[in-house]
Amino acid sequence: MTILAAFSASRHSSAPLNLAIQLARTTGEQVIAAAVVERSWPRRDDLVEGEYLAYVRAQATQALQRAVAVLPVELDVIPVVHESSSIPTGLIELADAHRATVVSVGSSSSGMIGRVALGSVTERLVHTARVPVVFAPRGYAQTDTAIRRLTAAYGGEADVNGLIPSTAELAAAWKAKLRIVSFTVRNTVAFAGTIESSAEELVIQQWSRRTIAEITKKLNAIRDQMAVPDVDVVVGAGHDWNTAVESIGWDTGDMLVLGSGAAAPSAQVFLGSAAGKILRRSPVPVMIAPSYQAG
């Protein structure tokens, strides 16, 4: 089993490699550092195109080798340059060929430093991948810290596809702590003058108690089927998504786990609308998991 890290030779961003190394410290798996070179498909016997592809491949190989050279020497990292009809297709081909357990990708260069942002490649990948996809925040640096806590963002649709059992299983395998959070956004400005702040707080408190009870019930059912580590159950509330996500606190070694929405095909990743809003506000790496397959 391997961790597949997507390297962009044009952007020279090492963020997905740095996240893959952090995952390797957690799991002990080998890392495949991959650069995908796009070419026409099916292949054409064109001399000019062949020379151009040879040049692009050589440039990608050099950039990838430079990026791998500064990674920790004690970890098993193999550089691979792969030709495919598109970058998302190439990454899926490599994930299948190397039996990857997860694909590590970076954030769009147009996103905020320290936050996760989808680009055109990752947008396509996240809707077609059959294994978990992890996103490194833009500019994510190397760290000696393994993944120490998984935070599952629970929501009604999110657990249709088994977010809680899949994250509990992963936390046990990674020897990481487990936290389950449910976010609520209350636009108090929109209701200014119509709802007393104390009444608004009461609504949130009632919703929080009901949500925590629902999560606890699911956890108790899961404990009948598998060993579940100690769990913290929290609620993140705020007047917007930024405030709600930041309200629960984040540490080095944290990873946020989002579940596929109810529209996801079986065993594939699909990013729902609420999950997309949470993902873009996350200050830590984010995993999007496909539908849970028990056993």
Domains of the chain in sequence order: 1-141 (3.40.50.620), 147-294 (3.40.50.620)
Give CA torsion, residues 59, 128, 163, 230, to 10 deg.
Answer: -20
Mean pLDDT of the chain: 84
Whether 121 and 11 have beta carbons less than 8 Å apart is answered as no
pLDDT at 21 > cutoff 90: yes
200-218: per-residue pLDDT in tens? 677 777 767 777 777 777 7
48-81: per-residue pLDDT in tens? 888 889 999 999 999 999 999 999 989 999 999 9
Quote the pLDDT of residue 198: 67
Place of tokens 């998984």: 150
Place of tokens 């009901």: 210
Residue 288 in tokens: 């999007």
pLDDT at 128 > cutoff 90: no
Percent of the chain with pLDDT over 70: 83
pLDDT at 89 > cutoff 60: yes
Q: How confident is the model at residue 262 (pLDDT cuts 50, 70, 90)?
A: very low
Whether 202 and 173 have beta carbons less than 8 Å apart is answered as no
Better pLDDT: 106 or 164: 106
Whether 186 and 235 have beta carbons less than 8 Å apart is answered as no
Residue 84 in tokens: 């495919």
Q: Write the CA distances from 229 to 57, 180, 182, 267, integer angstroms.
A: 46, 12, 19, 24
235-257: per-residue pLDDT in tens? 888 888 899 999 999 999 999 99
Give one DSSP letter per residue of 26-80, joined into a string.
HH--EEEEEEEEE--SS----HHHHHHHHHHHHHHHHHHHHHHHTS-TTS-EEEE
